[in-house]
Structures are given as C-alpha cells and as structure tokens.
C-alpha cells in the first residue's frame, strides 16, 4: 500500500487553530493524519470517529504518541451528537471532517472501491453492516440504476451503462470490480482520448449509493456547527461536486440565519497548492471550507 498523505494538512491546522487547546473532533479519522497534526499543534484532547472499523487499527498506531489524549470511536460522522452526548461533552473547540476515501480504503484488498484489482463487489465503508453493492444491484431495475448513476456520478451515458450492467448481471457475467468496470467501458461510446477511466463516474455513483454518503450531510453540518464553542471552528473537505454543493449551501444558509449562527472563514473553497498537487495527486479534487462560531 502506498504511503497515505492527508489532504491540505497545513490549511486544516491553520484554520482550526488547535494551539488554543481544548477538545477537538476528527469525524473521519482515517489513518490519523489530520488528527496527528491537530494534536501536534496543541489540542488538549481529540476524539476520532470513523465508520470504517478497520481504519481505527492503523489510526491507533499513528496516534500512539498521544494515546493519553486520544479516544477513537467506531462511528459514522453523522453520529457526532450521540458520541459527544455519551461522553457528556456539550461543545468543542474544533471539528474536522475529510469526506473522501483514504488510500487505506482504495488500495485495501477485498474492499471493492478500485477497479485496478479483481475485488469482490462490496464498496461498504463499514463492512460490519449494510448491503454490499452486489446486493443492491441484484435488487435494482435498470431504470432505477440509471437514475443512480446519473444522479451520483453525473454520467451522461447512465442509461446505456445501467442496461449493460443489469443484462450482464442476469447472465452471471459480473462477479468482481474488474468485470464490472469492463462492462461499463464497453457500454460507453469511444471518442478518442479520455482524461479519466470511463468507469470512474459509475464507480463513484455506486460507492455513494452503497454508503448513502450524501444522506444527512446537511444535518451533520448543522449539528456540528451547533456543537462548537464560541470561537470554535469547523473544517470540511469534500472531493466531488455533489458533496461540496451541499457543504457550500448548508454553511451559507447557516451564516445568513437568525443571529448569524456561524461566520464563513473561506469565501471561496481552499484548494491544494501546486507543491501538494505534484506530490499528492489525490488532492486535486479536494475543496476545503471552514466556518467559525462567533464569540459575540
């Protein structure tokens, strides 16, 4: 597995200002990269959540130097309120949520997120619960699948792709991610050079569908802002336009609400600089937005 580098760590730390001390929450702790940087910069303690139980093992190793200041919890970021309530924590100084997949998930064998290997059709971020993508495809008609691929992948050939997937599925021609990707590629008209693999958008759509990634994102943002101390900050990193659109509009709405519940710190989304883009290609689609709960 390649070395994982969290996206825009310098920007996350600069905006969260953990040097103030206090309690911080990493809602998507992953391999612990952002959490380590926040702790290193002065956070008094950190609660790390991740819906992927397997990720908590390397995260615990990465954060071992701060083990007396860290608690890791197997939980979806949308369970933030329940996690804090269970610990009798009302408000915190800072919250970060990196909504993208980590290299641990993309490159992990048997996960089904990548079409570079013959993995089973799983795609669940939390492999302890829920339906796999294979389960979902098996119970879906081609018109429903087409709507999902169009809505979550913004794929204009969604109807052709969905029809091809369902036809191949019913004759037992799809068992692995490579086989699925091959069906998708054959369904798309070939017109010269393609900047990304033709299967990319469909795989994104199927992953979002399997994990209900957009469901409740707006409520999470509202709830997270409500758990900030005066002066507390929330940083969110999104990796595709559907996700970022929800973040943008929800935070803008909160900033314009009665009394101005939050103050937007990033008028435009922060993107990775040229140096980071060169060494960390994963950062090219990342957009970071941050807000602060006013002190007055």
Where do the structural domains in the chain lie, given as residue ranges? 9-99+214-292, 109-211
Looking up tokens 């809602």 gives: 27
Domains 9-99+214-292 and 109-211 share a fold: no
Angle between helices 33-40 and 9-16 (to 10 degrees): 50
pTM of the complete model beyond 0.75: yes
3-state secondary structure of 286: coil
Q: Alpha-carbon distance 12 to 199, whole Å?
A: 32
Run of H or E including 92:
strand 92-98
Quick one: pLDDT band at residue 202, thresholds 50, 70, 90?
very high
Tell me, what's the pLDDT at 108?
65
Decide which of 205 and 6 is more confident. 205
Side by side, the strands of the sheet bearing 228-238 are 70-74, 45-50, 23-26, 92-98, 228-238, 287-292, 263-264
Q: What is the pLDDT of residues 116-126, one digit of tens each?
A: 889 999 999 99
Whether pLDDT at 247 is above 90: yes
Q: What is the pLDDT of residues 228-242, one digit of tens each?
A: 999 999 999 999 999
Whether pLDDT at 28 is above 80: yes
Strand partners, 292: 233, 263
Tell me, what's the pLDDT at 116?
85
CATH class of domain segment(s) 9-99+214-292: alpha beta
Angle at alpha carbon of residue 123, lines to 121 and 124, rounded to 5°: 125
Using alpha carbons, list the distances in angstroms from residue 278 to 2, 274, 275: 16, 6, 5
Quick one: pLDDT band at residue 104, thresholds 50, 70, 90?
low
Tell me, what's the pLDDT at 142?
94
CATH 1.10.150.170 assigned to 109-211? yes
Quick one: pLDDT band at residue 281, thresholds 50, 70, 90?
confident
Quick one: pLDDT band at residue 192, thresholds 50, 70, 90?
low
Q: Count the neighbouring beta carbons within 10 Å of the beta carbon of residue 135.
A: 14
Looking up tokens 């609660």 gives: 47
Tell me, what's the pLDDT at 3?
47
């Amino acid at each position: 597995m390649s070395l994982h580098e969290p996206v825009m760590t310098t920007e996350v730390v600069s905006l969260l200002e953990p040097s103030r001390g206090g309690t911080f929450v990493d809602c998507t702790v992953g391999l612990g990269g952002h959490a380590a940087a926040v702790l290193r910069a002065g956070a008094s303690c950190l609660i790390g959540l991740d819906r992927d139980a397997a990720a908590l093992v390397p995260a615990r190793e990465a954060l071992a130097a701060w083990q007396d200041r860290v608690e890791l919890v197997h939980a979806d970021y949308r369970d933030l309120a329940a996690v804090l309530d269970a610990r009798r924590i009302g408000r915190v100084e800072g919250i970060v949520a990196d909504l993208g997949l980590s290299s641990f998930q993309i490159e992990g064998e048997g996960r089904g997120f990548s079409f570079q290997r013959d993995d089973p059709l799983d795609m669940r971020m939390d492999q302890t619960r829920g339906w796999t993508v294979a389960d979902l495809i098996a119970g879906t008609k081609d018109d429903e699948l087409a709507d999902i691929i169009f809505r979550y992948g913004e794929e204009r050939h969604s109807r052709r792709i969905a029809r091809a997937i369902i036809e191949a599925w019913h004759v037992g021609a799809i068992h692995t991610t490579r086989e699925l990707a091959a069906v998708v590629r054959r369904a798309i008209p070939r017109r010269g050079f393609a900047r990304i693999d033709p299967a990319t958008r469909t795989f994104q759509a199927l992953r979002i569908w399997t994990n209900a990634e957009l469901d409740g994102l707006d409520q999470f943002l509202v709830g997270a802002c409500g758990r900030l101390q005066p002066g507390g900050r929330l940083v969110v990193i999104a990796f595709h336009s559907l996700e970022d659109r929800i973040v943008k509009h929800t935070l803008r709405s909160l900033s314009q609400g009665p009394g101005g519940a939050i103050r937007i710190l990033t008028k435009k989304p922060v993107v990775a600089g040229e140096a980071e883009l060169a060494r960390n290609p994963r950062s090219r689609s990342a957009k970071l937005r941050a807000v602060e709960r006013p002190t007055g």
